């Protein structure tokens, strides 16, 4: 985002159920724990979040990783905190219907952080499930529902952001 020719700021609105908001917060909190933890871990999810820049050159890959890994994880952490802040109203159990839709307005300057965070959390879930690419799982297998839901949410956000960009062009 942030590439509006007129310089006008827009926002993107998404409608999510209260229970979805709480589930997203839970996933964000787990993600924050992962990227805020030991970064030298052999956790395959961390490796997936910071892929090897030079797969054919171990020495160059290690050097690149030393110079960029902390910065990358710090950015991922900051992005996740932005998204968490935008969802803070879901941080209570609250009364009422957990399936009741609620509009979340995401300012243009924060949309990219949301997209990066949804994609990163989806990568972590994919790593945990052993998914290498989208057609590498059975959509009927309930273990993949969170993975698919994150993909749906990411696709929806991308479409809404594109629509908002087109409307201001």
pLDDT band at 2 (very low <50, low <70, confident <90, very high): very low
Taking only the tens place, the pLDDT of each residue in 74-105 is: 999 999 999 999 999 888 766 678 888 889 99
Q: Report pLDDT for 3.
A: 43
Comparing CA positions, the residue from 133, 130, 156 lying closest to residue 143 is 130
Q: What pTM, to 2 d.p., does this model score?
A: 0.84
pLDDT computed for residue 88 by the predictor: 92
Is pLDDT of 154 > 90? Answer: yes
- pLDDT tens-place string over residues 27-56: 999 999 999 988 766 788 888 888 777 778
Conformation bin of residue 50: beta by default, left when phi > 0, alpha when psi is -120 to 50: beta
DSSP string, 11-80: EEEEEEEHHHHHHHHHHHHHHHHHHHS-TT---HHHHHHS--S-TT-HHHHHHHHHHHHHHHHHHHHHHH
Return the residue matching tokens 């935008």: 86
Q: What is the mean pLDDT of residues 138-162?
A: 89
Is residue 61 within 8 Å of residue 55, measured between CB atoms?
Answer: yes
Tell me the pLDDT band of 8, cut-offs 50, 70 and 90: very low
Mean pLDDT of 129-149: 78
Q: Is the pLDDT reported for residue 1 higher than 60? A: no
H or E element that contains 153: helix 145-168
């Amino acid at each position: 985002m942030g590439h509006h020719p007129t310089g006008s700021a827009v926002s993107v609105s998404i409608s999510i159920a209260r229970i979805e908001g709480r589930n997203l917060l839970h996933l964000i909190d787990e993600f924050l724990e992962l990227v805020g933890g030991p970064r030298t871990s052999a956790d395959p999810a961390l490796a997936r979040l910071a892929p090897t820049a030079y797969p054919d050159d171990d020495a160059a890959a290690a050097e690149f990783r030393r110079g960029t890994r902390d910065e990358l994880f710090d950015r991922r952490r900051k992005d996740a905190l932005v998204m968490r802040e935008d969802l803070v109203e879901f941080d209570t159990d609250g009364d009422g219907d957990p399936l009741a839709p609620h509009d979340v307005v995401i300012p243009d300057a924060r949309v990219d952080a949301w997209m990066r965070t949804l994609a990163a959390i989806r990568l972590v879930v994919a790593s945990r499930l052993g998914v290498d690419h989208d057609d590498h799982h059975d959509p009927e297998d309930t273990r993949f529902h969170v993975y698919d839901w994150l993909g749906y949410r990411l696709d929806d956000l991308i479409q809404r952001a594109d629509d908002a960009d087109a409307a201001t062009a």
